[in-house]
Structure 1
Amino acid sequence: MNGPTAFFNRTYDETMSLLLEARNYVAYQEAADQRSLPPAVRLQASYESMRVTSRLTQVMAWILAQKAVHAGELTQEQAVGDDYALSGGHICSDPSGPDNLALPPALRSLLQRSHGLYMRTSRLEDMVRRNVA
């Protein structure tokens, strides 16, 4: 069980690191980045910040459920149920944002990395579901 546990620990660490980076961006940099943007771009930047938050929150919740399985707190059958499923599919899996050069570079970076993490986690979820079925 060390293999899967170590893997989930690394994914957890990556997710936590991105969550902290996103929090710091929103708390300390976002307002300065948006100050000079036109209103329509500010609105888009706010939307994209929410997308980053949604992706990372969904991934963290899914990873915590998987860690609970490895700790014996949940069964794999429980963890693949709707209560613990990765959600936000059409919004979180949309890769747009990083290519919008009007958005601040730090936000575009968070969008790109959170999308990659969400998509990897989505594939993991599919693999886990197939193994349980």
Structure 2
Amino acid sequence: MASIQPVFFSRTYDEALSLVEEARNYVAYVEPRDRQRLGLAGRLGVSCESMRVTSRLTQVMAWLLMQRAVAIGEISLDEAFKPDNRLGAQEICLRDLVNYTEDLPKSLKSLMDRSLNLYIRVSRLENRILDTLH
């Protein structure tokens, strides 16, 4: 059966955890200042895209923790890849950026890009593992 290489897992987990912390700090400390400089459409954009970043990172972390449980023998690989345990919310997490009338802050755009790239990488990995299971 397929499994994730420990080095890949560790690096991906560390990257995801770092992005979670960065996103949390953005929402807690930077976003309020960014929102003050924007009009209504820009504030809406910041809110929507912050939630999308959070959704991506939550999905990735849940998936990675499921893989960690497989690696330490808490659950089987088959259990980890049941539909309810797979990477979810693709309709939200992979959606293209909505065109807002005002530019989004660069720090948020960076989080958006990096969280999307991470989500896509994990999604591809999941698909490769699923292919080997079937």
Unaligned runs of 5+ in 1: none
Unaligned runs of 5+ in 2: none
Deviation, structure 1 residue 70: 0.9
Q: Superposition pairs for residues 1-133 of structure 1, below 5 Å? A: 4-96=5-97, 102-133=103-134
* Conserved 8 A contact 2:66-2:85: yes
Q: Which digits, 9 at most, give the CA deviation of each residue in 1:79-112, with x for residues without a partner?
A: 1102211011121012426x98610110000000
Q: Quick one: percent identity of the two aligned structures?
A: 49
Give RMSD over aligned pairs: 1.8
In 2, the alpha carbon distance for the partners of 1:36 and 1:66 equals 41
* Conserved 8 A contact 1:65-1:84: yes
The code of the aligned residue for 2:87 comes to: L
Structure 1 counterpart SS, 2:5: helix
* Conserved 8 A contact 1:86-1:122: yes
Q: Which runs of 4+ in 1 moved over 4 A?
A: none
Aligned residues: 131
In 2, the alpha carbon distance for the partners of 1:54 and 1:120 equals 15
